[in-house]
Every structure is written in structure tokens, then in C-alpha cells.
Amino acid sequence: MTTITPVLLAGGAGTRLWPLSRKSYPKQFAKLMGEESLFQGSARRLSGAGFKAPIVVTGDPFRFIVTEQLAGLGMMPEAVLIEPSARNTAPAVAAAALYVSSRDPDGLLLIAPSDHVIPDQEGFRAALEAAAKRAAPSDIVTFGITPTRPETGYGYLELAKGGNPQAAAPQPLARFVEKPDAARAAEMIADGGYLWNAGIFLASAAELIAAYEAHAPETLALSRAALEAAKADLGFTRLDPAAWEELQDVSIDYAIMEKARNLVVMPYGGCWSDLGGWEAVWQASTPDADGTAVSPGSLAIDCRDTLLRSEAQGQRIVGIGLEDIVAIATPDAVLVTRKSQSQRAKEAVTALRAEGARQAESFPVDHRPWGHFESLARGARFQVKRIVVKPGAALSLQSHHHRAEHWIVVEGTARVTIGEEVRLVTENQSVYVPLGAVHRLENPGKVEVVLIEVQTGTYLGEDDILRYEDVYART
């Protein structure tokens, strides 16, 4: 197979699978289907013989999550392009195509969302090999999924007259079809000449750029300006904010694919899901004979067509006599909805955001480049956190205007700086950080450091930090 550079798109607002997916940690980074995140599954699927190291396009809050999850697979990215703000897929793909073109204009790019599930890796690779034969000369190949039901949540691809939806080679494409209503979806399934639009594209960098030049020249020009003025930052490539902010928020489908004349579609008949809602997760979770799917920690008694998931260690969720129900329990939020209404989860996010509820966008667990922390208890003038610091990692040298901190180490050994004093604090030992003191916490060992932090003060927000030094270049 011709060597392919995967371009993994790893943005997203994290609303459709609330409360498991949120803005601070969207679904591609969650372990929805097994022990690997969807992002890791995508990276693994597009690796090995025939693939170069991936290019990842993501937002600033996720850059360290990306590298950490790739490191968990033993992988290093070719590049991580940081979008200054979300501008949909057309600018993201343009930036990636320009990046590859500067090194290999004829290099093939596979543009793929990082939150899809494709269990049959061999079958998908066979489809890629067939698609590459058309993409390598001069075509753009999009991937169409054999539909299994009249789905209203997907866009469709209409094959041109004479196209075979079961073919093992790319087929001529007539047009893109927007998400239909139920009646129209049923008509298209009965017709047989339609495929689901997977949002996956294979083309050379040169052909993609030519398509932008023909159909979206302003997007290409601004993306080029953002890339040319990009700044290197700890191995990441930060696209220039000034040029990026001028870009239109537009999808690649609308910007170029619906207008391109050299577009063909590669049918794929294997199992596929974009996990675009809880009903899709239920379908991908292989329900039992009664149509019920449960996670560890969940128990279904006399239930039908139901999904139960418990997302907290030690938490149990029990359903009795349920039908057409989705119930998702996380430590700080619970969603209960009819499965047929589960696409409306994003309405809950909108309503909670209007109330100012942190559950709308944030988790109790907050992921940082050095590890993570979770809030255990909070009152008017205190907060208790559990903090985990990865081996070799360090928090910034910092101080606080409004709070003091008490640290109790429960696992590992921490190196603690307070003012001019530096000392080791081991398991069962504690240390006090006075209000205003310049301090730092480091893990010099080879195992995680776990500590309990008790904050006391008039203001306990995460923005009460004055950083003096930071190995992760945060301000």
C-alpha cells in the first residue's frame, strides 16, 4: 500500500454524549468502548506498515492529552497542530494539507475523525488499499458506509447511475445529501443507491490544495498564513491566532467536497459508528437478547432496549423493569432519558450552562500536563482535592493571592519547594504552604505521587495562580 499520513481531527465540543463527554474532555479521549480511548483506537488503527506517524489537529486544552495518549501506544506524532479556536474541519484540513505539502506535495493524507469505531481493522485496511489506487494519481476518495437502518443522524452519499454500493473499488459519486427526515431516510434505504457519509477522506496533499484553490481560496490563504506564522512550543505547532480568527467556521464537506469534480466514494460494508449519541453507543455495545447493554458496575433486571453505564469506581447503577432507557451515572451528574430521545443530551448542556453549572462543561477530574486532580469536598472557605503527579513531572513554580494549602502525601515521594527551602516529603508526611508563598511540587521518582490537598481562603478558583516558571510554557 502507498504510504499514508493519517490526519486525526481531535476537536469537538463534547455535548452529544454528556455527561461522559464534556468540553473539558470530549468523547474522543474517553474509554467508551474498551480499555483504549476512541482517539487511541483511531491512532492504532491507522498505524503500522503503510502508515507514517500521524498529524493531529486539536485545541490547546487537549495538546498534552494527545501526546500522553499516543505515548501510551508507544507512538510519537509527526506534528500536533494547535488551533487557536474551533473553526470546523475545513481550516483544520487545509492546515494539515499545507503542512504535508511543504515536505511531500504528492504525499497521501487520510483525513479521519478521531472518535469513530471501526472494529474490523483488516477490512478497513483493504478498503484503504483499494482507495489509495484512485487517490494516488489524481482523485479525492471519500468513504461511504453501507447503511443498516434509516438513520436521520447521518449525511448520505448518493452514488452516480451505475454505481455499486457493494463494490470493492471506488465508485462514481452523484452528490452529498444532508441529514434526512425519517421518511426520506427510509426512501433512500429502499432505493439502495445511498451510503452513509463517514467524513473520512483520502487524497494527496496536492489535490486537496488544488480543491481549496478552486472552491475555498480564502480558507486556503488564511490557513497558509496561520501555518507560516505558527510558533513552535514544546514540540507543538501553534497556528497563528491573528490569521486563524479571520477564518470562516465551515466544514470540509461544504467548503470543497460537495463541489469537487474529482471525488469518488469507496464503499465500506464493515461495522462502523461515529458514536454520535447514546443510542449509537447502545448499538455499538452489542446488546443482549433483550436489547440491553450494561457497563461493569451496572445491573439490569427485567430491562429491554436499555443502556446502563456507571462511570465511577465503586458506584452501582441498577435498572428494574426499564424499556427504551439510557441511564448514565458519573460522579457529579446523571442522565436519564428515553433512548429514542437521547440525541437531546446537548439540550441538557445548554440548560446547565445557562444556570452556570460546572457540570455543563467540566469534570470533577481535571487533567493537566503533569497529571490530574479531583475535587473531593468544597465549602465556603475550603476545598479538598486529590492530586496525582506523574513520574518526573512538576507543577509550576507559583503563588496564590487568596489561599493557603496543606499537602498530605499518601503515595510516593514529593520534592517540595517553599520559598528558599527544598525538601522531600514522603508517605504519611505533610507540609503547609502559607498564603502568598512561592512554591512548587515535583515528582522526582518513578511512581506516581498521590497527595491530599486542603485549601483554605477567601477565593479558591483555579485562576488564583501567579506562575513564575513552568516546564509546560503555561502563563
pLDDT value at residue 364 = 85
Q: Across-strand partners of 383?
A: 378, 455
pLDDT value at residue 392 = 95
The Cα 330–Cα 21 span in angstroms is: 10
Residue 255 has pLDDT above 90, yes or no: yes
| CA distances for 101 relative to 114, 192, 470, angstroms | 22, 38, 34
What percent of the residues of the chain are helix, what percent strand, and what percent coil, each to the nearest 5? 25, 35, 40
Plot region of 135 (φ>0 → left; ψ -120 to 50 → alpha; else → beta): alpha
Say which residue, 152 or 78, is predicted with more confidence: 78
Average pLDDT over residues 369-397: 94
Handedness of CA 181, 184, 186, 188 (dihedral sign): negative
Q: Across-strand partners of 384?
A: 377, 454
pLDDT value at residue 373 = 95
pLDDT band for position 1 (50/70/90)? low
Average pLDDT, the chain: 94
pLDDT value at residue 137 = 78
pLDDT value at residue 312 = 85
| Distance separating the N- and C-terminal Cα atoms of the chain | 45
Handedness of CA 234, 240, 242, 248 (dihedral sign): negative
Pairing, β 365-368 against β 371-378: antiparallel
Express each pLDDT in 396-446 by its tens digit: 999 999 999 999 999 999 999 999 999 999 999 999 999 999 999 999 999
Average pLDDT over residues 357-386: 92
Please, are residues 352 and 359 in contact by the beta-carbon 8 Å criterion? yes
Average pLDDT over residues 464-468: 95
pLDDT value at residue 474 = 78
Handedness of CA 316, 312, 34, 268 (dihedral sign): positive
pLDDT band for position 299 (50/70/90)? very high
The Cα 108–Cα 129 span in angstroms is: 12
Percent of the chain with pLDDT over 70: 100
Residue 231 has pLDDT above 80, yes or no: yes
Burial of 296 (0-12, 13-18, 19+ CB in 10 A): exposed
Q: What would the 3-class secondary structure string for 355-403 be? A: HCCHHHCCCCEEEECCEEEEEEEECCCEEEEEEEECCCCECCEEECCCE
Please, are residues 203 and 135 in contact by the beta-carbon 8 Å criterion? yes
Residue 101 has pLDDT above 80, yes or no: yes
Please, are residues 368 and 60 in contact by the beta-carbon 8 Å criterion? no
pLDDT value at residue 12 = 79
pLDDT band for position 153 (50/70/90)? confident
Instruction: Provide the 10 A C-beta neighbour count for residue 299.
Output: 13
pLDDT band for position 352 (50/70/90)? very high
Residue 271 has pLDDT above 80, yes or no: yes
Give the DSSP per-residue string, 129-172. Answer: HHHHHHHTTT-EEEEEEPPSS--SSS-EEEEPTT--TT-SS-EE
pLDDT value at residue 62 = 93
Express each pLDDT in 173-183 by its tens digit: 999 999 999 99
Please, are residues 230 and 240 in contact by the beta-carbon 8 Å criterion? yes
The Cα 444–Cα 15 span in angstroms is: 38
Express each pLDDT in 4-60 by its tens digit: 999 999 987 789 999 999 998 999 999 999 899 999 999 999 999 999 999 999 999
pLDDT value at residue 471 = 87
pLDDT band for position 2 (50/70/90)? confident
The Cα 302–Cα 295 span in angstroms is: 16
Residue 206 has pLDDT above 70, yes or no: yes
The Cα 97–Cα 89 span in angstroms is: 12
Residue 229 has pLDDT above 80, yes or no: yes
